[in-house]
Amino acid sequence: MLLSAYSGLIRHLPYLDQAFETKKETWYREQYQKYPEFSQFLKEVFSNDDVATFSRQDLFNRADGDIKIAVFSIIFWGYPRNMRGNTFESILKALPDIERLLSESRALNTVHYTAICQRLKGSGIGLSTLTKLLYFFGFTLEGCRCLILDSRIVDVLNAGTFAELTMPGFITEYNKEKAYPIYLRLMHGLSEKNGYPVDQLELFLFQFGRNLKAAIA
């Protein structure tokens, strides 16, 4: 299947409007209440309703303000049903270090990016969460703007659904950090060639990549 066949659709995807809803009951857990900054965030977000909705535009706006609030908001958007096990509590414990990392230079090279991945081991932040943070905080890697790479997009890449979107090898849990810079170069190259923002291509893969099958004439 050719990605170019969907260029018209991709160009019209309102990526800034993509939003997810999360519920108050999902986040009001006893183990989280010992973190005062998160408790205050919950009170503000759910002050008028038991449901909160965040869009990409909301997250870009918040990334220009308080880093901790932006991190909480990005996690609510990316994981509206909460994270697995004790992952989110691990993030709360590591929040000071995460905040420092996000305050550093946002123009990364491969060495710096690899160091960040190593530094965050055990913090609850895997590549999917890290790439969400890098994306919304406007980081670049070797000159390419960082994009989200989560399990849904990995599945599309591994399936070889689109002929133009071919990675040099199968992406696994063990090599996905090394695959990320290659993914960025490929995505930016395709977006420039086809004339649409790279964000729209990423959203297209997330939304439709596993749900399309070319018609047989």
> What is 121-141 written as a DSSP string?
TTTT--HHHHHHHHHHTT-EE
Task: Write down the pLDDT at residue 122.
Answer: 85
Task: Write down the pLDDT at residue 131.
Answer: 98
Residue tagged 């909460």 (tokens): 82
81 residue type, one letter: R
pLDDT 10s digits, 122-141: 899 999 999 999 999 999 99
What are 169's two structure tokens? 């090898």
Asked whether 141 and 110 are in contact (CB, 8 A), the reply is yes
178 residue type, one letter: K
Average model confidence (pLDDT) across the chain: 95
In the chain, where the domains are located: 3-208
Task: Write down the pLDDT at residue 215.
Answer: 59
Which H helix or E strand runs over 55?
A: strand 51-55
- For 18, 29, 70, 118, 199, the CA distances from 134, given in Å and listed in that order, are 18, 27, 12, 15, 13
Q: What mean pLDDT do residues 29-37 have?
A: 93
Q: Specify the pTM.
A: 0.95
pLDDT 10s digits, 165-209: 999 999 999 999 999 999 999 999 999 999 999 999 999 999 999
pLDDT 10s digits, 67-92: 999 999 999 999 999 999 999 999 99
Q: What mean pLDDT do residues 17-25 have?
A: 97
Please, what is the Cα angle at 175 between 199 and 138, to 5 degrees?
30
Residues near 107 by beta carbon (within 8 Å), at least 6 away in sequence = 139, 140
